[in-house]
Amino acid sequence: MSNISVIGAGYVGLSTAACFAELGHNITLIEIDPEKLTALKNGLMPISEPGLNEMWQRNKQEDRINVTNNHMDGLLGAEFAFIAVGTPAASNGKPDLKWVRLAAKNIAEAASGPMVIVIKSTVPIGTAEIIDRIVSYNDRNGHSLPVVSNPEFLREGAAIYDFMHPSRVVIGSSSQEAIDVVSKLYKPLDSPIITCDNRTAEMSKYACNAFLATRISFMNEIALLCDEYSVDIVKVAKIMGLDPRFGSGYLNAGLGWGGSCLPKDLKGLIHMAKSRGFPARLLRAVQQINQQQVYIVIRKLHWLLGNLEGKTIGILGLAFKPNSDDVREARSLLIISLLENEGCRIKAYDPDPTAMQNAGKLKIDVTYCANAYEVAKDSDAIVLVTEWEEFKELDMPAMASMMNQPIIVDGRNLYDPDEMIQAGFLYEGIGRCSQRTQETRIGIVQ
Ligand SMILES: NC(=O)c1ccc[n+]([C@@H]2O[C@H](COP(=O)([O-])OP(=O)(O)OC[C@H]3O[C@@H](n4cnc5c(N)ncnc54)[C@H](O)[C@@H]3O)[C@@H](O)[C@H]2O)c1
């Protein structure tokens, strides 16, 4: 079993630490944020992620996990140092590498022997070479510190499952020895291991995220046409998804993509293209379509309610996706800010209490509710933003009867339009043959 240090206790770092501990390794997690560190030291998990807390507590009890904010202590005797720190986008889209650079410097200064540096953070092409230079400059003892690029493909909300059951593991390095030892760590997971150079590994992560974003924006463009031509995008997506050339994932039309990864990684790739003189027309279009999606909700509310000033709008779901507490770049926040500009009163509920706390920290003018029924009570319309399972189970006739006006804009196409109409709602999905289009068509027929 190996001694592994993981730098950064975010979604990726905590999942990596817990899963490698579960595989029997000795883990030291290094985190500099005092709030997160205190929580972890007090046995509390600072994020919600299915299965993470149980796995963490089990391995902590068995003494396979330590937590510290001290890089010297945390890297003492480590054979591997995983970098899992944030790489947020700067205002021009350029990925900000200050945390990665700092982590590399910390590692080089603390190295007490040979160690493999593994970059899990999503970093622009060429970063491994930068890390290599930082490490060579700061390493005073001349240890062997090869750099491996090992991008992470886990999804928030399914991070533990994804880490333990990866569709592939990508390991890129110029050192075959480093590739071999990192491959050994992943061997028990029984998944394909693709080995390559650092740059291929770095690019593969950006290409995957940009492709996922492209699929969703593509479906959202088709959904616009579906609304206009009275076609249901959900049925179209089902037909498309059964084609083995496509596969069924990421074909859901809706409010578009948010979260801490797709928006930032698309911006990063566009920045990389721009810095080499390429216009990245397709990637920009993908981004623009995504930006427009939230305005579709406002337009639909206008069709259904007219002037929105003084109206009470209920928001179901704040997290950027179900089973997560993460509200970074969540669509809910954009919609809330647009509704605020329209002069609406806003009520909101998310099944994850931490997601509500995280939204609360942003000081938006929202009344937080204890459940979905409280949101519905006296609202003029509801917008379903996050497709939590809990929202599928709601008593919809009861919800409709509590509202000022039984209007719902289903931003994730979670519900069956006919069932919602039967429950008493005026229903609008995204690309599901809009109520407005139907009325126009009836008008034309008459
Ligand atoms: N969140 C995801 O679903 C996901 C999936 C795949 C890849 N990634 C990538 O993984 C990286 C991490 O993402 P995340 O969502 O886990 O980030 P995060 O912001 O949730 O966590 C990063 C943590 O690193 C800590 N940190 C920063 N510098 C440090 C240092 N020098 N020493 C110790 N701790 C330090 C921060 O305090 C923070 O707690 C990003 O590059 C991201 O793009 C994220």
Q: Angle CA(112)–CA(118)–CA(119) in degrees, nearest 5? A: 130
Ligand 1 atom closest to Cα of residue 102: 31
Task: Pick the last residue of a domain from 137, 170, 195.
Answer: 195
Q: Which two tokens stand for residue 26?
A: 């000795």
Assess whether 382 and 304 both reside in one domain. Answer: yes
* Separation between Cα atoms, residue 189 and residue 212, nearest integer Å: 24
Ligand 1 pocket mutation, candidates 11, 83, 324, criterion most atoms within 8 A of CB = 11
* Separation between Cα atoms, residue 388 and residue 18, nearest integer Å: 25
CB 283 within 8 A of CB 269: yes
Model pLDDT for residues 418-436, shown as the tens digit of each residue: 999 999 999 999 999 866 6
Assess whether 139 and 227 both reside in one domain. Answer: no
CB 19 within 8 A of CB 59: no
Spacing, Cα 227 to ligand 1 middle (Å):
39
Ligand 1 pocket mutation, candidates 257, 260, 328, criterion most atoms within 8 A of CB = 260
Task: Pick the last residue of a domain from 195, 221, 253.
Answer: 195
What's the confidence (pLDDT) of residue 140?
78
Model pLDDT for residues 143-179, shown as the tens digit of each residue: 899 999 999 999 999 999 999 999 999 999 999 999 9
CA 376 to chain centre: 27
Structural domain containing residue 249? 208-445
Helix, strand, coil percentages (3-state) for the chain, rounded to 5, are 50, 15, 40
CB 84 within 8 A of CB 10: yes
CA distances for 379 relative to 216, 336, 368, 395, 406, angstroms: 30, 15, 13, 16, 8
What's the confidence (pLDDT) of residue 435?
64
Assess whether 256 and 147 both reside in one domain. Answer: no
Spacing, Cα 122 to ligand 1 middle (Å):
9
| 202: in domain | no
| 201: in domain | no
* Separation between Cα atoms, residue 389 and residue 411, nearest integer Å: 14
As for ligand 1, residues whose beta carbon falls within 6 Å of it are 7-13, 30-33, 36, 84-87, 99, 102-103, 106, 121-122, 152, 154, 156, 260-261
Assess whether 351 and 396 both reside in one domain. Answer: yes
Q: Which two tokens stand for residue 415?
A: 């519900």
* Separation between Cα atoms, residue 139 and residue 96, nearest integer Å: 23
Paired with 149 in beta bridges are: 119, 172
What's the confidence (pLDDT) of residue 351?
97
CB 115 within 8 A of CB 78: yes
Ligand 1 atom closest to Cα of residue 159: 3
Assess whether 174 and 228 both reside in one domain. Answer: no
Paired with 7 in beta bridges are: 30, 83
What's the confidence (pLDDT) of residue 444?
42
Ligand 1 atom closest to Cα of residue 8: 24
Would you please indicate which residues are annotated as catalytic (active-site) residues? Answer: 261
H-helix or E-strand spanning residue 208: helix 198-229
Q: Which two tokens stand for residue 58?
A: 């089990």
Average pLDDT of the chain is: 95
Confidence check: pLDDT of 123 > 60: yes
The half-sphere exposure of 314 on its side-chain side, counting CA atoms within 13 A, is 28
Assess whether 225 and 100 both reside in one domain. Answer: no
Assess whether 145 and 221 both reside in one domain. Answer: no
Q: Looking at ligand 1, which residue's alpha carbon is closest to its atom 18?
A: 10
Q: What are phi and psi of 170, to 5 degrees?
A: -105, 125
CA 81 to chain centre: 24
Confidence check: pLDDT of 446 > 50: no
Spacing, Cα 47 to ligand 1 middle (Å):
12
CB 107 within 8 A of CB 7: yes
Q: Long-range contacts: 42-48, Cβ < 8 Å, 24+? A: 45/14, 46/9, 46/14, 47/10, 47/11, 47/14, 47/325, 47/326, 47/354, 48/323, 48/324, 48/325, 48/352, 48/354, 48/355
Going by pLDDT thresholds of 50, 70 and 90, the confidence category of residue 391 is very high
H-helix or E-strand spanning residue 265: helix 262-275
E-assigned strands of 263-380? 312-316, 345-349, 367-368
| 156: in domain | yes
Model pLDDT for residues 342-375, shown as the tens digit of each residue: 999 999 999 999 999 999 999 889 999 999 999 9
Residue 425 corresponds to which amino acid? F
Model pLDDT for residues 95-112, shown as the tens digit of each residue: 999 999 999 999 999 998
Going by pLDDT thresholds of 50, 70 and 90, the confidence category of residue 268 is very high
Count up the domains in the chain and report the number.
Answer: 2
What's the confidence (pLDDT) of residue 445?
38
Ligand 1 pocket mutation, candidates 6, 7, 12, criterion most atoms within 8 A of CB = 12
Assess whether 356 and 213 both reside in one domain. Answer: yes
| 13: in domain | yes
Model pLDDT for residues 279-307, shown as the tens digit of each residue: 999 999 999 999 999 999 999 999 999 99
Task: Pick the last residue of a domain from 136, 164, 195.
Answer: 195
Three-state secondary structure of 155-178: CCCCHHHHHHCCCCEEEECCCHHH
Ligand 1 atom closest to Cα of residue 14: 16
Spacing, Cα 36 to ligand 1 middle (Å):
12
* Separation between Cα atoms, residue 84 and residue 390, nearest integer Å: 32
CB 115 within 8 A of CB 109: no
Give percent of the chain with pLDDT exceeding 90. 94
Spacing, Cα 12 to ligand 1 middle (Å):
6
| 319: in domain | yes
Residue 189's CB is within 10 A of a number of other CB atoms, namely 14
**What's 8's domain CATH number?**
3.40.50.720
Give percent of the chain with pLDDT exceeding 70. 97
Q: Looking at ligand 1, which residue's alpha carbon is closest to its atom 1?
A: 11
Assess whether 307 and 433 both reside in one domain. Answer: yes
CA distances for 81 relative to 78, 88, 136, angstroms: 7, 21, 15
Model pLDDT for residues 369-379, shown as the tens digit of each residue: 999 999 999 99
Assess whether 149 and 248 both reside in one domain. Answer: no
Assess whether 314 and 269 both reside in one domain. Answer: yes
* Separation between Cα atoms, residue 259 and residue 321, nearest integer Å: 8
What's the confidence (pLDDT) of residue 44?
94
CA 193 to chain centre: 24
Spacing, Cα 192 to ligand 1 middle (Å):
25
* Separation between Cα atoms, residue 94 and residue 74, nearest integer Å: 30
Spacing, Cα 262 to ligand 1 middle (Å):
14
Ligand 1 pocket mutation, candidates 49, 85, 101, criterion most atoms within 8 A of CB = 85
Assess whether 292 and 187 both reside in one domain. Answer: no
Model pLDDT for residues 38-82, shown as the tens digit of each residue: 999 999 999 999 999 999 999 999 999 999 999 999 999 999 999
Ligand 1 atom closest to Cα of residue 122: 41
